[in-house]
Amino acid sequence: QNLSFQLNYPHESSASFSPNMAEHHTVSECKHKANPNAGGSLSGNGLSGGLTQPAGWQSLLSFTILFLAWLAGFSSRLFAVIRFESIIHEFDPWFNYRSTHHLSTNGFYEFLNWFDERAWYPLGRIVGGTVYPGLMVTAGLIHYLLNLLHVTVHIRDVCVFLAPVFSGLTAISTFLLTRELWNQSAGLLAACFIAIVPGYISRSVAGSFDNEGIAIFALQFTYYLWVKSVKTGSVFWTIGCCLSYFYMVSAWGGYVFIINLIPLHVFVLLLMQRYSRRLYIAYSTFYIVGLVLSMQIPFVGFQPIRTSEHMAAAGVFALLQAYAFLQYLKDRLTKQEFQTLFFLGVSLAAGVVFLTVIYLTYTELGCLYLYSVYAKIHIPIIASVSEHQPTTWVSFFFDLHILVCTFPAGLWFCIKNVNDERVFVALYAISAVYFAGVMVRLMLTLTPVVCMLSAIAFSSVFEHYLGDDTKRENPPAEDSSDEDDKRNSGNLYDKAGKVRKHVSEQDKPEEGLGPNIKSIVTMLMLMLLMMFAVHCTWVTSNAYSSPSVVLASYNHDGSRNILDDFREAYYWLRQNTDEHARVMSWWDYGYQIAGMANRTTLVDNNTWNNSHIALVGKAMSSNESAAYEIMKSLDVDYVLIIFGGVIGYSGDDINKFLWMVRIAEGEHPKDIRESDYFTPQGEFRVDKAGSPTLLNCLMYKMSYYRFGEMQLDFRTPPGFDRTRNAEIGNKDIRLKHLEEAFTSEHWLVRIYRVKKQENRQPLEHKLRSVLAKQKYTSKKKGKKLNKKSV
Amino acid sequence: MSNSVISVISRFLEEYTTSTPNKLKVVDAYLLYILLTGAFQFLYCLLVGTFPFNSFLSGFISCVGSFILAVCLRIQINPQNKGEFLTVSPERAFADFLFAHTVLHLVVVNFIG
């Protein structure tokens, strides 16, 4: 508790600190027998730097630690840039990059009203209305400002390095939030944790230009401003919270989490009888101004007053108005019986209103919660996304290491010393744990609260085991001064010595701490933290730093072998095809094709139109003639597939093929049946024993065209697929309507050109049969016709 | 039953007129005006239809927002609540009120279309 000095912000008056400090004080007095002198110096410090020297050093230390946390977070996200180059990773960031490029070249209004006809070929996409513009606007603004100052950076570099820079800001806002919840030392620990924790790094490495990079910063900052506004009850902080909430709505679809957690917090506080006027001011202002701000984003539109996800906020708003009004009346009316009559009547009305709202929404909300479970299993396109799979225990430990073990301890500390804002963080923790268990992707929402609560746990432990020495000296001095009055002053030091031993002996049974135990525990905690740092760096380096556009493999001697097939193929497309050519591929690669090759695609990662994707899936799974009909109807010029059989790449299209079949079967159940592609025994095989439908479908033919002639090494037969570890069944593939246009160096990307229809259709007629007819002698007079057989 | 309710209401009104300071009565009059404006807007929407929905919404939210902000101001300048708002003096409350209204009306004007 000695370490919890506050930074001296000039505009904050001291009075706001004293309630907090009083609270912390009572807590610490229960726990550690804090010295009243130390308490006096604490409250005095908040005022005017009565002890300027320690306060100054404290501020400097905090500033340095936060700066180092920012630097650590920034540097540990740069592995991919150092190993490869500054390139946009994965799939989704390519679309964000393309939009940002469009924004920076054409201006803000062009971006907001952009209709992209080069995506989803015949349909197009209204980008302005279907995207969260916060990320693009942030990157565009930074690019604009830097260029205004004549620091000419390319937009790609701004996009690549945006997420690491914002990770530092996230660390600072986590520090602010934890400081509001607990104290400054816990805040510093939380900032350091979130700077390097792998759960957050996975979505914010340099190059991963995605919404989560800025959304987590907006989330933490909004929560900090919310806690601040509940604590102070000032409308200024609440409007700040609304503006930060507006930024969050513009940045990520996960804003729904905020607009449900804050009403839940208010509701639980009402249930816990912790209603206060500050709470009323904070929530009412936040709801109304936040509502109108959130509707400014075109993608969100009128959803906040229509969909069920936002109804909880409205319900709590109505409830809070009713509750506040009743409180006001209660203060006014003194007569018990009239008041209860009035109270009963109005509360019944409010209850009925609230219940109808809840009933209407829970019938939908219940469906919504179940929908996530239903959708995962039954809608193939959602089920097929790897990020939507349930989380395993391994991912919890992998992403959070020791924080996942210490975070329940922090949660318990918060619940034990409860006040309004710690209720908030407890609810945040519980809901985040639930969601993280549902989908791997939502581990990201769990990470900030785990960092905060673990920091609280660690901070409490360190305080308990580090901070007791200085407090011990004073009580013995006081006791000795009492005893001195009774005894000779000449024996002062002896007496003090005796008294000190006496007091410390009394202390021992109560505290049970000796210097040995304290140093052992401190050493253990420090070792845990060091192992955490090592683990985080190792995980970042090995698991989360691959650009996935460029593959790297390491030879036996450690030298690196780079497989740049993707970019090679996309650049071939860019340079060798007509500008308005249309490329058909599976939806995974849509954004990359649009970003790197700059060609029109049929389906991409936005996956908003399931029927269109099903059509592409049907084309891939039918035989060549049926597929050609579909490709003609969609004006396809090129087909692009990924084939990993030569190098053993397991993320290729044959491995994804069953998902294509399932999605196609969902829309065209009469034409495509999943069971056709399996052997009679139920196996999915590509060798001779594979099902004939599979061996003749378009995807198979395109993947293995001319692969039967290729022998990878002398031990395996020609046409041996390294990924499936099988020799392919159909080696003699002839393509009638397609011709091979490009195959990359390691056969990873294969591009086929769709041939135009023949000018003259060859007639399908049977060959004339040669029959040995019997000689027919005609009885008629006349010339014998020469019955020659042809 | 109704007698007691009426008597409660009348007693409440009497107590209100005598015990609330004038500053708060001004704010209460403003609240009543905002309430009536909002009610009229809603009535108009019910009668005529919601065609430019964003315009209706922005106007209605402007009324509700002004009402809420005025209630917050009233709470914060009420001398009975002084113990709860240590950092917020009445002048600060009014400044916050103006700032919040600026933000609210900027957004409302943008949303009106």
Q: Kindly give, in sequence order, each residue whose CB lies less than 8 Å from that of residue A672, ignoring residues fewer than 6 positions away.
A: A617, A618, A621, A622, A661, A664, A665
Q: Which residue's structure tokens are 């989330």?
A: A219
pLDDT confidence tier of residue A786, bands split at 50, 70 and 90: low
The pLDDT value given to residue A362: 64
Q: To 10 degrees, what angle do helices A420-438 and A211-232 make?
A: 160
DSSP calls for A712-743: SSTTS-TTEETTTTEE-S------SSEEEEEE
The reply to whether B100 touches chain A by the CB within 8 Å rule is: yes
**Quick check: is B8 in a domain?**
no
**Quick check: is B43 in a domain?**
yes
Give SS3 for A132.
Answer: coil
The reply to whether A296 touches chain B by the CB within 8 Å rule is: yes
Minimum CA–CA partner of B19 in chain A: A332
Average pLDDT, chain A: 82
Q: What is the DSSP letter of B72?
A: H
Give SS3 for A351.
Answer: helix
Structure tokens at A301: 């539109």
Whether residue A737 contacts residue A754, with contact meaning beta carbons closer than 8 Å, is answered with yes
Q: In chain A, which residues have their Cβ closer than 8 Å to the Cβ of B103?
A: 239, 242-243, 289
Nearest to A235 among B61, B62, B100 (CB): B100
CA angle A164/A446/A210 to nearest 5° reads 35
Among A250, A276, A281, pick the best mutation site for testing chain B contact (most B Cβ within 10 A): A281
Each residue's pLDDT tens digit, A581-591: 999 999 989 99
Structure tokens at A162: 């945006």
Check pLDDT > 80 for residue A387.
no
Check pLDDT > 90 for residue A54.
no
CB contact (8 A) between residue A292 and residue B108 = yes
Structure tokens at A581: 């050519």
Instruction: Report, as an integer, the average pLDDT of B41-57.
Output: 90
CA distance A268 to chain B (A): 21
Whether residue A210 contacts residue A93, with contact meaning beta carbons closer than 8 Å, is answered with yes
DSSP calls for A443-508: HHHHHHHHHHHHHHHHHHHHHHHHSSHHHHHHHHHHHHHHHHTTS-STTHHHHHHHHHHHHHHHHH
Instruction: Report, as an integer, the average pLDDT of A307-333.
Output: 85
**Quick check: is B5 in a domain?**
no
The pLDDT value given to residue A368: 57
The pLDDT value given to residue A478: 42
Nearest to B88 among A12, A233, A338 (CB): A233
CA distance A329 to chain B (A): 9
Among A235, A246, A250, A278, pick the best mutation site for testing chain B contact (most B Cβ within 10 A): A235
What is the interface size between A and B, counted as CB pairs within 8 Å?
Answer: 110
CA distance B111 to chain A (A): 7
The reply to whether A295 touches chain B by the CB within 8 Å rule is: yes
pLDDT confidence tier of residue A336, bands split at 50, 70 and 90: low
Check pLDDT > 50 for residue A4.
no
Side-chain half-sphere of A726: how many Cα atoms within 13 Å? 14
Q: What percent of chain A has pLDDT over 90?
A: 47
The pLDDT value given to residue A783: 63
CB contact (8 A) between residue B1 and residue A341 = yes
Check pLDDT > 60 for residue A482.
no
The reply to whether A344 touches chain B by the CB within 8 Å rule is: no
CB contact (8 A) between residue B87 and residue A12 = yes
**Quick check: is B16 in a domain?**
no
Nearest to A284 among B8, B68, B111 (CB): B68
The pLDDT value given to residue A782: 64
Check pLDDT > 90 for residue A512.
no
Instruction: Report, as an integer, the average pLDDT of A26-37.
Output: 38
pTM for the structure as a whole: 0.82
A291/A288 Cα distance (integer angstroms): 5
Query: Chain centroid to CA A743: how far?
Result: 35
The pLDDT value given to residue A429: 95
Which phi and psi (to 5°) does residue A368 adopt? Answer: -65, -45
CB contact (8 A) between residue A232 and residue B87 = yes
The pLDDT value given to residue A508: 46
The pLDDT value given to residue B97: 95
Each residue's pLDDT tens digit, B15-26: 888 888 888 899
The pLDDT value given to residue B66: 96
Each residue's pLDDT tens digit, A221-261: 999 999 999 999 899 999 999 999 999 999 998 899 999 99
Minimum CA–CA partner of A280 in chain B: B72
**Quick check: is B107 in a domain?**
yes
Nearest to A338 among B4, B64, B111 (CB): B4
Q: In chain B, which residues have their Cβ closer than 8 Å to the Cβ of A332?
A: 12, 15-16
The reply to whether B65 touches chain A by the CB within 8 Å rule is: yes
A72/A537 Cα distance (integer angstroms): 10
Q: In chain A, which residues have their Cβ closer than 8 Å to the Cβ of B11?
A: 333
From residue B64, give the alpha-carbon distance in Å to each of A7, A237, A300, A356, A656: 38, 20, 21, 22, 53
Check pLDDT > 50 for residue A1.
no
The pLDDT value given to residue A504: 45
The reply to whether A288 touches chain B by the CB within 8 Å rule is: yes
The pLDDT value given to residue A586: 93
Q: What percent of chain A has pLDDT over 70?
A: 81
Check pLDDT > 60 for residue A374.
no
The pLDDT value given to residue A181: 93
Instruction: Report, as an integer, the average pLDDT of A633-658.
Output: 90
CA distance B12 to chain A (A): 7
Check pLDDT > 60 for residue B2.
no
pLDDT confidence tier of residue B81, bands split at 50, 70 and 90: confident
The pLDDT value given to residue A391: 86
Winning range, highest mean pLDDT, from A437-446, A566-575, A713-722, B2-11: A566-575
Q: Kindly give, in sequence order, each residue whose CB lies less than 8 Å from that of residue A659, ignoring residues fewer than 6 positions away.
A: A380, A384, A617
A264/A281 Cα distance (integer angstroms): 16
Among B13, B69, B81, pick the best mutation site for testing chain A contact (most A Cβ within 10 A): B69
Winning range, highest mean pLDDT, from A276-290, A360-374, A387-401: A276-290
The reply to whether B93 touches chain A by the CB within 8 Å rule is: yes
CB contact (8 A) between residue B87 and residue A16 = yes
Structural domain of residue B58, as residue ranges? Answer: 21-112
A734/A731 Cα distance (integer angstroms): 9
Residues in chain B: 113
Whether residue A717 contacts residue A711, with contact meaning beta carbons closer than 8 Å, is answered with yes
pLDDT confidence tier of residue A788, bands split at 50, 70 and 90: low
Least confident of A189-203, A349-363, A469-483: A469-483
Q: To 10 degrees, what angle do helices B53-77 and A277-294 make?
A: 160
Domain count, chain B: 1
**Quick check: is B7 in a domain?**
no
Give me the interface pTM, i.e. the ipTM.
0.95
The pLDDT value given to residue A66: 96
More confident residue, A222 or A756: A222
pLDDT confidence tier of residue A25, bands split at 50, 70 and 90: very low
A545/A541 Cα distance (integer angstroms): 6
Q: In chain A, which residues have their Cβ closer than 8 Å to the Cβ of B64?
A: 288
Minimum CA–CA partner of A230 in chain B: B85
pLDDT confidence tier of residue A338, bands split at 50, 70 and 90: low
**Quick check: is B12 in a domain?**
no
The reply to whether A235 touches chain B by the CB within 8 Å rule is: yes
A620/A661 Cα distance (integer angstroms): 8
The pLDDT value given to residue A690: 84
The reply to whether A332 touches chain B by the CB within 8 Å rule is: yes
Each residue's pLDDT tens digit, A736-745: 899 999 999 9
Nearest to A289 among B92, B96, B104 (CB): B104
Q: What is the largest CA-CA distance in chain A?
A: 167
Instruction: Report, as an integer, the average pLDDT of A402-417.
Output: 93
A87/A104 Cα distance (integer angstroms): 18
Give SS3 for A621.
Answer: helix
Minimum CA–CA partner of A236 in chain B: B96
Nearest to B96 among A12, A234, A288 (CB): A234
Instruction: Report, as an integer, the average pLDDT of A318-346.
Output: 75
**Quick check: is B13 in a domain?**
no
Q: In chain A, which residues have their Cβ closer than 8 Å to the Cβ of B54?
A: 295, 302
Each residue's pLDDT tens digit, A664-717: 998 998 888 888 888 888 888 888 888 888 888 899 999 999 888 888 888 888
The reply to whether A292 touches chain B by the CB within 8 Å rule is: yes
Whether residue A642 contacts residue A587, with contact meaning beta carbons closer than 8 Å, is answered with no
Give the strand pairing for A720-721 and A738-743. Answer: unpaired
Nearest to A465 by CA among A517, A394, A509, A500: A517
Each residue's pLDDT tens digit, A528-551: 999 999 999 999 998 888 888 888
Minimum CA–CA partner of B94 in chain A: A235
Burial class (CB in 10 A: 0-12, 13-18, 19+), A757: exposed
Q: What is the largest CA-CA distance in chain B?
A: 50
B75/B80 Cα distance (integer angstroms): 9
The pLDDT value given to residue A337: 54
CA distance B110 to chain A (A): 8
Least confident of A27-41, A137-151, A563-577, B29-43: A27-41
Instruction: Report, as an integer, the average pLDDT of A74-102.
Output: 92
